[in-house]
Amino acid sequence: MTIPPPDLAQWLLSALWISSSAVGLTVVLRRLPPIEGWVRRGLKPWACNLCCATWSSLAITAALCVATADPWTLAAWLPALALSVAGLHHADPPAPPDFANLALPQLDEPRETAAIETAAIETAATEAADAP
């Protein structure tokens, strides 16, 4: 006995339902206290939109496939993944970097270093002018 493939409308509705459920599941999970700390620290897979969308949409697709006993539901996983990555980017955008704790190189040189470099350049220029 073979199971006939679903029509296009059923397949697209499955992909939309899976993707919206995956986005909602990810947003809710990211608000739980231990996971929220991992997201703030940037730990994978919790802080990665692609990772969270992949695992949540795959779990929902597998559950839907088992619940409906229809293996063709797995065909909706890849379009649902693409939609859930886009939806997750808009529903829960990545946090901007924390510039207060970011170690950036110092842009202005200390005055002593600049004075030493200027003296070295002047000495080299004087020696070059004195050379025959």
For 40, the token pair is: 């703030």
What's the chain's Rg over C-alpha atoms?
Answer: 28
Q: What is the pLDDT of residue 92?
A: 77
Q: What is the pLDDT of residue 98?
A: 63
What does each C-alpha distance from 4 to 70, 72, 75, 76 come to in angstroms? 9, 8, 13, 15
Q: Could you identify the residue written with the tokens 């006993």?
A: 69
Q: Write down the pTM of the prediction.
A: 0.63
Q: Cis omega (within 30 of 0) on the bond before 132?
A: no
132 residues of the chain, pLDDT tens digit each: 566 666 788 888 888 999 999 999 999 998 898 888 888 887 788 888 888 899 999 999 999 889 988 888 888 888 999 999 999 888 877 666 666 666 666 666 566 666 667 777 777 777 777 766
Pick from 66, 65, 118, 57: which is nearest to 87 by CA?
A: 57
How far apart CA 57 and CA 83 sit, in angstroms, is 10
Domain boundaries, the chain: 8-95
